[in-house]
A and B are shown apart, each in its own frame.
Chain A
Amino acid sequence: MADDMDIIVPIRCPNCDGLNPPDSKRCQFCGQSLVGAKPTAIAPPSGELRSPAAPPTPPTPDFLSRPADARPAAGPIASPFAAAPPPPQQRVEPIPQPQPAPPASPAARGGGALASRLGGQAPAPANDALGGLDNLRSGIAGFSAADLPQTGELNGYVVPPQPVASPFRREEEETRHRDSESAVDWLASLRASSSLPEEAEQAGEAGDSWLNRVRGADSYNPPPTGRSLSQPLDVARPTSAPLNPPPNQLAEVQHGVVEQPNSSQSLPDWFRSLRGEETEPPAPTADSIPPWLAEQPAPAASNLPAWLSGEDESATSAAPAPTRADSDLPPWLQEEATSQPPAAASNLPSWLSGEEVDTAPAPTSNRPAWLSGATPETTTSSSPTWASSPPPAPTPPAHDSNPGLLGEVDAPWLQQLAAQPLPTPPAATQPQRNAADFFPASVPANQADEMAEENDEMPPWLLAEEQDEAATATSQSFVQAEPDPEGDTDEVEEQAVAEPTAGRKKATGLINEEDLPAWLRAQVAEQEQGQVRLPRSASRANTTAPRPEQGEGSGYVPNWLRNLGTSDEDATAAANAATAASDLTATLAPAIPKISRTMTIRSPRTGAAEAFAALVSSPSSATLTSSVLRHEPRGAAGAMRYLTADRLIYLLTLAVIITAYVLGQSSSGGPLGNIAKPNIAPAVSSFYSTIENLPADAPVLVAFDWDADRQAELQPLSYAVLRHLFDRQRRVTTVSLLPAGAAFAQQELQRASKDYNASQQNTGKKIEYLNLGYLPGNEIGLRGLATGPLANALTGRADFQGNPLTGSAALRGVSRLSDYRLIVLLEGDEGLARQWAEQLNAARLQTQQVANASGVNQATQVVIGYSQAAQATVNLYLNGSRPLFSGNIAGLLGTDQYALALNQAGKALDSQLGREQRSNVLSFALILIVLLIIIGNIVLISRWASNRR
């Protein structure tokens, strides 16, 4: 069989040393690429676990030898004995799965098989998460099979959740009983040999080969950190490390299968004591075993309970009742011992004997029901795992009273096992902790002290469970309720609701509220009110609380376990979380079943709000409160809040402009001087020369296409152009594509003509101008103006002042747009400038193509003055092989150059234009902007460099 095990050739991850399925391309634990990694053979179980003189190995049951991976993907829920086990697996090969499935570790295989048999459900196709799940199943000590999460529940994406029948269900008992009739031969042989100790001993030795492997698998102790639970275990590793107590499934197998482990080192102390290897069983400590249980005399084989010995219940009822050492019992328990005779059903506690609860009267004292011998039916699954492993024996035969194989095997060592005290819960073996250490930080000190005082009244073993229960309850308080994918727990809940108890009692798991003593009742009430809670982050990381709709004994899925294997990327993180949580799970295992299913489960948002409220109300939140809820400072500090970076730039710019304006009041520029000495640009010079070169009395069309937003830029330019035209005695016609532009045109015409007339008083020259006003239609109006007769475009029109156009001196000899010798565009918006340029270009092209066409002929020149905002668009039409514009003036800077050109021509307009003051102010403002841009880039680059470092 060892050779058979060698054929599993998983791939060992070179990074994390984890084992992956043979077909894996990426490590399921760390995401490392496995391309090129060599497969690694899994060594068989060490030979030391196998008896060298073992007789021929009996056929290994299928559910033990078959790995978790090799189990059928899904199947009907079957009783453990429903089908005869197939012949021993000769080759253990993983079944090809849609998703890469790692070869489960022996622990995972054994645990998965056992869990499968106990749960009565064939597990889903194994994957990494399943391997971890099975491993976790086998690793969580003290859990019953029903406590363990089912495969479909854990891996919802792998297997659709299917109703899982609890092995302790009564309806399955009958099926199991029927199936037991068709049990496999080896089981029959075991039953037959149960009456012969010698044969049983031999059978136990013979079964070492396969059972040792199971034991070795189940005794796998996951590494504390850095290794996932789902990571397969190299079974060749020496098992010198201390072993965890075997899980519940293994315990059941040990109860039911004739097997004697050879290696005593590989077994925990309690298990060795059960086997009787030691001459004197170790005296259980007060922390580990209840005193009353420790004081029980070692019963003889005849004193075995019915469910262990297979005798009738009547026979077991006649067994002598053990006497209790009242001195070791707490007072309230001593009272119970004195007031009520011990249960005659067996030497086990009544709650362990599985008495039915339907007929049990409601407890009237503070004694828990399970102490009074009346165990509610609903508490069957909520009893401690280590105690609930042997389920209640309803009716003979005895083998039906035990789940799985328990009732099928009867062996002397098993009787000896039954005579020993039950294994202590793992929580009891935990190092004793102080009550103050247990309470979370959020619990006030006085409350913690009160709870600690209450705990002092409790027996040690109950104190440990109580602490774990409280820890689990607090961690549960922030767990969001999740829908139950299975309906198997509904029945348990319904039974709990229908439980005939006096009044309205809140079922708190094993112990009802009224059953609790006063000190414990207050504790439970405190838990239900959620007064003791952990921080949300801690509760999320450590929560193992069951879902509220599930019974205590049924399987539950913690959030961290539910997230296992959700994706390849999360596999490593989930495995680490599972590893970290396994310790806590083992610690909380005995207390988890006792947690009330009715515990309040609040939504995360509610929990966050409460956590925030607790944080704010805590004394340490003074700083937070002061920073969040403080009032804004008044006065200068409040005003400084408004001094943001952009506002500082605004203020700085205003200060510079006002300072430059005030200091540059004089014609010489004041103390600053004339820092701006503009040179006349060629474009401006061309603009100027175009107007200068026009023949006398030439009609000129001026377009005023600017609004109030561009008044500061284009009003000086408009005035300068009009004065220049008037000085050269040009006939000026204005038009505008904007309603406000027509008004501005009228304003500038009046101003320029007034100034011109004032300057030409003695010459007697008169100027002629016409304001056509607003030309609607944008492109359509321009098209009509550019391509058709003006009479059509201006039919019925009047000038801006309402005077008829007929008889106007400005329009003399002008019937078309081509009759104008010059078109001056004063554009404040880039859109209007583009419209003019496009339509004028189209008119020029049409003129060239049509011989007798109208429009803008080659003799009509076009110049443009525009704001700096429109310069980017206008520049498109300034260049090219045949530029449209023969000259251009851009903004105030161009206006200053144009004014300088006029000055040079003896037409000084500086006083009207304010050129010198404006030049200085704009120069300083631009210098300031350049400095700000440079400083901003330096800061940006420095931040970028610091971020890169």
Chain B
Amino acid sequence: MSVPFIVAALLTLVVYSYLVGDNPAYRAAQHLFVGVSVGIAVLVAFYNVVWPQLLFLYQQKDTFTIFTNPSLLFLFLSLILGVVLLFKLTLPRNAASNSVLGIILGTGAAVALAGALIGTLIPQALATMVPLNGNGTIPSILGNVVLVVGVVTTLSYFYFTGRKDGSRGPVAQYGATLGRYFIMIAFGAIFGLLTVSFFAALYGRIFFLANPS
């Protein structure tokens, strides 16, 4: 058995000791896991992203192609903005660093929103608009009916608007009740999938401990 295996085995057992109760060893392993994960992320990001690009820019210092090559220009500007962003460490309210942060957040939000709209919302809405008869078979018909009813009732569950007297229409009122059951079924399915996934992780650990390397 190698040292890494022994360390990994001990840490595995320590983490599973949480099933008995919270203990300092578990918390130590937890902190160690977080620290190692962050350390790996920093190292990977620096050596895999930052350092190669800095070297590339340094190699282009004599050719003056930074201002002629758009890719290099954007890379150089990204470097400048990254340096300005570091001012947040000492000057939290610095306008320049806030601007850089605004660019990052704004761009990320715009891209995410566009991707969600085009990649998820519209395709899902289109996938819901199916004919109830499907391909003519009974399972297809039942499946499409369940699909339409499930979508409508689930959306009505989140419909909180009512009349002045507090009442709601029959679709919103009774559909919300039915939609609640659809939501519960979906949660149950997700819970089952998570359980299988966690059992796979448990098996992976047992397999690891049973096959020392």
Write the residues of chain A forming the contact surface with B, with a CB cutoff of 8 angstroms.
642, 647, 650, 653, 657-658, 661, 707-713, 715, 739-740, 742-743, 773-774, 776-780, 783, 791-792, 795-798, 800, 802, 834-835, 837-842, 845, 867-869, 871-872, 876-877, 879-882, 891-893, 914, 917-918, 921-922, 925-926, 929
Contacts and interface: CB of A to CB of B under 8 A. Distances in A.
Nearest to A788: B71
23 contacts: A657-B202, A707-B37, A773-B44, A777-B108, A779-B112, A792-B70, A795-B56, A796-B57, A797-B53, A834-B120, A835-B115, A837-B119, A841-B115, A868-B193, A868-B194, A868-B197, A872-B189, A876-B124, A892-B200, A918-B207, A925-B202, A925-B203, A929-B195
B200 A842 contact: no
A879 B124 CA distance: 9
Given A774-B44, A838-B119, A891 B200 contact: yes
Contacts of A710: 197, 201
Given A647-B20, A792-B74, A868-B197, 9 more contacts: A710-B201, A713-B200, A740-B44, A834-B120, A837-B120, A838-B116, A879-B127, A882-B123, A922-B196
Nearest to A803: B52
Contact of A776 (B21, B49, B119): B49
B151 to A, nearest CB: 12
A758 B127 CA distance: 47
Contacts of B74: 792, 795
B199 A925 contact: yes
B207 to A, nearest CB: 6
A418 to B, nearest CB: 71
Nearest to B123: A880
B84 interface: no
Nearest to B48: A773
Contacts of A712: 200-205, 207
A40 to B, nearest CB: 37
Interface string B183-213: 0001001100111110111111111001000
Contacts of B206: 657-658, 661, 921
A738 to B, nearest CB: 8
B21 A780 contact: no
B53 A739 contact: no
A917 B120 CA distance: 38
Interface string B99-122: 000000001100110111011100
B45 A739 contact: yes
B126 A842 contact: no
A872 B191 CA distance: 10
B200 A779 contact: no
Given A796-B52, A842-B114, A918 B203 contact: yes
B47 interface: yes
Contact of B118 (A653, A709, A841, A882): A841
A839 B116 CA distance: 8
B121 to A, nearest CB: 9
Most B Cβ at <10 Å: residue of A707, A796, A840, A869? A796
Contacts of B116: 838
Contacts of B21: 642
Contacts of A877: 123
Contacts of A834: 120
A922 B199 CA distance: 7
B107 A922 contact: no
B83 interface: no
B75 interface: yes
Contact of B119 (A743, A842, A871): A842
Contacts of A842: 114-115, 118-119
A159 B118 CA distance: 69
Contact of A795 (B20, B43, B75): B75
Interface string B1-28: 0000000000000000001110000000
A740 B37 contact: yes
A879 B129 CA distance: 12
Contact of B40 (A743, A837, A867, A917): A743
Interface size class of B (residues with CB under 8 A): 35 or more
B200 A841 contact: no
B130 to A, nearest CB: 8
A841 B43 CA distance: 32
Nearest to A892: B200
A649 B43 CA distance: 40
Contacts of A791: 71
B145 interface: no
A780 B118 contact: no
B120 A876 contact: yes
Which of the listed residues A642, A709, A713 has the most CB atoms from chain B within 10 Å of its own CB? Answer: A713
A628 B52 CA distance: 68
Contacts of A783: 111, 115
Contact of B200 (A800, A868, A871, A929): A868
B146 to A, nearest CB: 13
B72 interface: yes
Given A658-B206, A712-B205, A740-B37, A845 B118 contact: yes
A795 B48 contact: no
Nearest to A791: B71
A893 B203 CA distance: 13
Contacts of A800: 48
Contacts of A893: 196
Contacts of A840: 119
B95 interface: no
Contact of B56 (A796, A869, A926): A796
Contact of B72 (A657, A713, A795, A891): A795
A869 B191 CA distance: 9
Closest 7 A-B residue pairs measured CB to CB? A712-B204, A838-B119, A796-B56, A841-B119, A838-B115, A796-B53, A880-B127
B203 A657 contact: yes
Identify the interface centre among A739, A776, A778, A834: most chain B CB within 10 Å of its CB: A739
Given A657-B206, A795-B53, A642 B20 contact: yes
Contacts of A802: 47, 52
Contacts of B196: 868, 891, 893, 922, 926
B106 to A, nearest CB: 11
A423 B127 CA distance: 96
B45 to A, nearest CB: 6
B41 interface: yes
A740 to B, nearest CB: 6
A797 B119 contact: no
A682 to B, nearest CB: 15
A780 B200 contact: no
Contact of B48 (A777, A798, A918): A798
Contact of A779 (B72, B115, B201): B115
Interface string B31-61: 0000001001101110111001101110000
Contacts of B57: 796
Residue of B56, B126, B193 with most partner-chain A CB within 10 A: B193
A869 B193 contact: yes
Contacts of A914: 207
B63 to A, nearest CB: 14
Contacts of A838: 112, 115-116, 118-120
Contact of B19 (A650, A872, A926): A650
B173 to A, nearest CB: 25
Nearest to B198: A869
A650 B17 CA distance: 11
Nearest to A930: B192
Residue among B70, B74, B116, B200 with most chain A CB within 10 A: B200
A273 to B, nearest CB: 69
Contacts of B75: 795-796
A650 to B, nearest CB: 5
A926 B196 CA distance: 7
